[in-house]
Amino acid sequence: MDAVRIYGGNCLSGQTKIQGSKNASLPILAATLLIDGTCEIVNCPDISDVYHMLRLLESLGCRVCRRADVIRIDTCGVAECDMPADSVGVMRSSIMLLGALLARMGEVAMEYPGGCVIGKRPIDLHLQALRRMGVEITEGPEEFCARAWRLHGAVHELPFVSVGVTENLILAAVLAEGETVIHPAAREPEIQALCEFLVSAGGKISGVGTDRLVIRGVKKLYPVRFCVPADRIVAGTWLAACLCAGGRVFLEDAPCGQMESVLACAEKLGGRLSPSPEGLLVEGRACKGLKKDLVTAVYPGFPTDLQSLFMAAIAFSGQDGRIVETVFENRFRIVPELLKMGADIRVQGNCACIRGNRPLCNTIVEAKELRGGAALVVAALAAEGTGIVTNRHYIDRGYEDITRSLRDLGAEIELA
């Protein structure tokens, strides 16, 4: 059965190591296409999204070898520019292969990418920006074709901050002729990791970590060995789990420097946090109310990927709270499932009002996307009784083994 069974009502205790970042691994794996040779990517998480990305790379002619958390990718045999529709359809991150393949092959044919249904996330902005770099695009009802005889630099003044567009433009620009400017560029740590990977391979990128990136095209990149940073969203997931269920847990390698907005919110809810270079110690549970709205925003604001997890924490706090979602319009798909558990949540537009005065009881609930699925598992840890979260495959997109990690923290959880 594609499900997880959780025996709730127990405090958490223990230690777990934070896996490598999903959102950094995927663009870095795409970036290996820009390098003629073999790269080694260390600390790459063993998750289904990475599996699909590797399958896409193999379909293009790459030779892929994985041993433990090290992936070796030899791109010398790349000869194709068409990708299998089934992998493209399940993973929206496949769109970032567009910029890399245009730089490598000069031509790409692909179906429109899929992934979790959390909002529109149209690719129009990707295509418009690439056209400014000399790309000709022919769009059909189910697929599109992009061609470029020679990519050239351009100034991109984007209408809003987009992680995906920033990544695609970086990948297209690093081997393009001339200079490319991206503003406002996304500042997420995953963008910084991609830039660090490309610079280590010989790329020329300035402004890393700011909202204005300048990429000066080079003629060639060189094979490198690169370590993927820890996943701040996974660390935030286990932090939310402790806030819901209570207890004392240590999150080894948690990237606390990337989590300032999350840590601040957790402390306001009543969690006791002790960050260190080795990770993050979390004690206590959510027991206080938020005096101000929790508003999601692009980095360094509160990440939309953790919104549903902190919704669960607020629901267990015994206090009222309000969440304003500004990034994706469909991030509240978890609400009907939390209502089944007894939560009192009302949604109006992009705002969710949570009343924390009702106990939650476990039942059968359905994961409808990646982070919402993880949030339902976290909620079930703290609720009374035995719960089942179906559609585990959504959760597997971003978590190596959610049952193992939570068992490390003392949870009673198993595959169902």
Phi, psi (degrees; rounded to nearest 5) at 59? -65, -25
Smallest Cα–Cα separation from 291: which of 317, 312, 316? Answer: 317
- What would the 3-class secondary structure string for the chain be? CCEEEEECCCCEEEEEECCECHHHHHHHHHHHHHCCCEEEEECCCCCHHHHHHHHHHHHCCCEEEEECCEEEEECCCCCCCECCHHHHHHCHHHHHHHHHHHHHHCEEEEECCCCCCCCCCCCHHHHHHHHCCCCEEEECCCEEEEECCCCECCEEECCCCCHHHHHHHHHHHCCCECEEEEECCCCCHHHHHHHHHHHHCCCEEECCCCCCEEEECCCCCCCCEEECCECHHHHHHHHHHHHHHCEEEEEECCCHHHCHHHHHHHHHCCCEEEEECCEEEEECCCCCCCCCCEEECCCCCECHHHHHHHHHHHHHCCCCEEEECCCCCCCCCCHHHHHHCCCEEEEECCEEEEECCCCCECCEEECCCHHHHHHHHHHHHHCECEEEEECHHHHHCCCCCHHHHHHHCCCEEEEC
Residues sharing a CB contact under 8 Å with residue 32, sequence separation 6 or more, in sequence order: 39, 41, 57, 62, 73, 75
| Conformation bin of residue 177: beta by default, left when phi > 0, alpha when psi is -120 to 50 | beta
In the annotation, is 39 catalytic?
no
Distance CA 102, CA 316 (A): 48
Residues sharing a CB contact under 8 Å with residue 140, sequence separation 6 or more, in sequence order: none
| Catalytic member of 44, 62, 81, 116 | 116
- 289-291-293-296 Cα dihedral, nearest 10 degrees: -80
Give catalytic residues, as residue numbers.
116
